[in-house]
Amino acid sequence: MTMPTIRVQTDDFDLQSEIDLLTAGRMDIGAVVSFSGLCRDEHGALSALELEHYPGMAEAEMNRIALLAIDRFSLLGLTAIHRYGKIAPGANIVLVIAVASHRQAAFDGANFVMDFLKTSAPFWKKEHAADGSPRSWVDAKDADDTARDRWR
């Protein structure tokens, strides 16, 4: 059984190093798909995002989702990293890398993990406005639930 790598951290991550960790010495991997989620500035309106999480549950929930994906798409490896704390526009927030024998499983695996991570991993975003107006919590989107439900 493939075990996922799950990390919740304040530090940034390096995409290539994480890919290398998954593929080093492996001759059976034919496909690597990665997704990086970055902080947008919303056309200059945002100075930062602040990410809050539920310590312990965030890791546990990401691990649960990762195991579902590994099983469903026969992934040969999976890494999911989510940052928390204050994140500036242009900086990384989240990384998912799925590796498999063939591309479709790797694409689907990464997509599946992101769809479930957005709706069930306990993270919350708060926006810091560039003009100094009061900070506001980001609303959950129905579109994220719809994206998750297509995997049923």
Partner 1 sequence: MTKLVYFAWVRERIGKTEEDLDLPPEVVTARDLLNHLKTLGEEYENALQYPEVIRVAIDQEHVEHFEKIAGAREIGIFPPMTGG
> Which residues bind to partner 1, rule: CB under 8 A?
37, 51-54, 56-58, 60-61, 82, 93-94, 114, 117-126, 137-140, 144
Q: What is the CA radius of gyration of the chain?
A: 16
Q: How far is the CB of 139 from partner 1 (least distance, A)?
A: 7
- Residue-wise burial string across 90-112, b where 16 or more C-beta atoms lie within 10 A, e elsewhere: eebbbbbbbbbeeeebbbbbbbb
Q: How far is the CB of 57 from partner 1 (least distance, A)?
A: 4
Strands 123-129 and 46-53: antiparallel
Give the integer Cα–Cα distance in Å for 88 and 2. Answer: 34
Measured from the CB atom, is 3 or 60 closer to partner 1?
60
Cα angle at 151 between 150 and 152, to 5 degrees?
Answer: 90
Measured from the CB atom, is 124 or 151 closer to partner 1?
124
Measured from the CB atom, is 22 or 65 closer to partner 1?
65
Q: How far is the CB of 62 from partner 1 (least distance, A)?
A: 9
* Closest to 60 in 3D by CA, of 121, 2, 145, 124: 121
Q: How far is the CB of 148 from partner 1 (least distance, A)?
A: 11
Measured from the CB atom, is 89 or 122 closer to partner 1?
122
